[in-house]
Amino acid sequence: MTFSPQLEARFDKLLKSYPPGRQRSAMIPMLLYAQDELGCVSGDLVEEVARRVGVTALEVHEVLSYYSMLRSRPLGRHHVQVCTNISCLLRGGDKLWEHACRKLGIGNKETTADGRISIEEVECMGACSWAPAVQVNYDFHHDMTPAKLDELLDGLRKKP
């Protein structure tokens, strides 16, 4: 597989970050950074990462199935994650989540027909003092309300 020069540089740096013989350590960051570029962790990517860190594809699959951010199928270009854990719940995170589902007409880990937006109900994302919080890909949106979420989703629909 070929990757962008930026990703290749990142891989090189990662593989040099661990003690000799411990290149397997690079696996999880490699999978996540590659997923960011490719949209998901495909079977080919599993094979490629396995080859580069010197383990079997099965050992990569073991890791892939454990970490909640790694996925083997693509989601929307803008992945909207709504936290409903306790601190967000107390400030309306659950209502915000229901609002997002209704507005987009899709459910948990589903994607709109145009492939633009997917939604996920997630666990604590570390924005508890500025709750309820939403993450779009890696961008945080704090102190959300249904009106602010509408604005955010409308913006994402127009975004390239």
Binding stretches for other proteins (CB under 8 A): 17-19, 22, 24-29, 31-33, 36, 53, 55, 62-63, 66-70, 84-87, 89-92, 94-96, 99, 123-132, 135, 138, 142, 144-147
Determine how β-strand 110-111 pairs with β-strand 117-122.
Answer: antiparallel
> Whole-angstrom Cα distance, residue 155 to residue 149?
10
Smallest distance, Å, CB 46 to other proteins?
Answer: 13
Comparing CB distances to other proteins, the nearer of 29 and 106 is 29
Comparing CB distances to other proteins, the nearer of 3 and 130 is 130
Structure tokens at 126: 């570390």
Comparing CB distances to other proteins, the nearer of 21 and 114 is 21
Query: If you ran DSSP here, which 8-state letter would residue 129 be given?
Result: G
Smallest distance, Å, CB 127 to other proteins?
Answer: 6
- Phi/psi of residue 21, each to 5°? 80, 0
Smallest distance, Å, CB 60 to other proteins?
Answer: 9
Comparing CB distances to other proteins, the nearer of 84 and 112 is 84
Which helix (H) or strand (E) is 83 found in, with range?
strand 78-83
Q: Cα 158–74–14 angle (5° rounding)?
A: 105
